[in-house]
Every structure is written in C-alpha cells, then in structure tokens.
Copies of this chain bind each other. A is one copy, B any other.
C-alpha cells in the first residue's frame, strides 16, 4: 500500500499546507525561506515528509512536499527533488521520538530577537500567560529557555552542536538561529503550530519592551 493513499497521511499533508499558508500570510516566510516537515504515519514512522527547497510559500502546494529517510536522503520516487538545505536539522530533531512535526519560521520578530540577544546564548522567557501553550507548562511563572545558536552554512556541524544541547535539554521545544529565525516542534502538527505561535508572540512583546527598557531607569 502506498503511503500517499493513507487517509492519515492526507490529513497531515492538508494540515501542514494550511499552516504554511497561514504563516506566509503573517509574513513569516519572506523570499523562499522556511521549511516544514512531519513524521509519516505508521508503519512509515522512520520516514518524513518535508518541504522541498526554494519554493515561494505563496504558491506552496502538495506537489512541493517530498519524502526522505532518517538520514535525509530522498525516498524512491523523490530523487528528482531537492530537500531543504536544512534537512539535517529536521532529521536530528526526529531522533527524539516524541518529535512528530517541525516548523521553521523566518519572521522579523524572531530574526530581530535572535540578533539582539545573540550574545546571551540562552534567553529565559517568563511572566507570559501564553507560555502555558508550551506542552508541560502550567503557569506563567514557569521559565522557558530558548537557546540561540550561531547561524552556520555547515548544517552537519550545526546539527551536531544542537543535538548535544537537545540531549541535555530534552524538554526544549524550540531554538533560534541568529539572524535566521525559529525552529519549533511538537508531538503533533497542532502542537508544533501552538509552540511556534507562543514563541513568536513572546518575541514580539519582548522586542517592543526591549526598546522601552534600554532607555528607562
């Protein structure tokens, strides 16, 4: 039986297409930036559906997805497509078996936040009710860490660096690449979307307040 005909698969694909369109409308995917993926349904859970490279998200459609194995190589039938340059980050994150879906946004808010706090390497997010949108967080008084990694074109080295952090911080739900934006994930597409919106919202708030606080006393 072909995976493309699984009803579950079609539902996941439709769900991700809706998310991609929504995020594009918000301005979170300028030029041909961003990439998105989900873990394929059983019994194909060691394979992944990922956006192929270089597509304007204004026009992204089902045919722009491709399937890869857990090393990032195209599955048979997809060899003619080019996976995102950042596929290695996705496959690394899927080594944590809870990861079911990964969304990468490239918003002004996340880019500015990542550059402004770049030197801090880790920012603590606290005092925002919306933090309760993060799985496992039950109060705004919780402190959620968001690490900021140096951006790099050497995805293998970057992936290794993030893997080490993730192995030591398995509750991590997202990270920033400096000047590059946000990766967030979850145990479902809906949860990954929720986590993305939580982070983006807090970045917008903190960016606005950063302007105030630097000059007040």
A interface, CB within 8 angstroms of B: 22, 26-27, 30-33, 56, 58, 106, 108, 111-112, 115-116, 127-130, 133, 138-141, 151, 153, 177-181, 190, 193-195, 197-198, 200-201, 204-205, 207-212, 214-216
Contact = CB atoms under 8 A, between A and B. Distances in A.
A31 B214 contact: no
A135 to B, nearest CB: 11
A108 B190 contact: no
A140 B58 contact: no
A98 B26 CA distance: 32
Copies in the complex: 4
B212 A31 contact: no
7 contacts: A26-B27, A127-B178, A128-B180, A129-B180, A139-B153, A140-B153, A207-B208
Contacts of A140: 151, 153, 179-180
Leading 8 A-B pairs by shortest Cβ distance? A31-B133, A129-B180, A30-B201, A30-B197, A31-B197, A31-B194, A127-B179, A215-B215
A108 B205 contact: yes
Nearest to A200: B30
A153 B179 contact: no
Contact of A33 (B31, B129, B138, B181): B129
Contact of A112 (B141, B197, B208): B208
Contact of A208 (B106, B108, B139): B108
Given A31-B201, A56-B194, A140-B180, 13 more contacts: A22-B58, A26-B27, A30-B130, A31-B133, A31-B194, A32-B194, A33-B133, A129-B177, A129-B180, A129-B181, A140-B153, A207-B208, A211-B212
Contacts of A112: 205, 208-209
Contacts of A33: 129-130, 133
B115 A179 contact: no
Contacts of A180: 128-129, 140
B128 A179 contact: yes
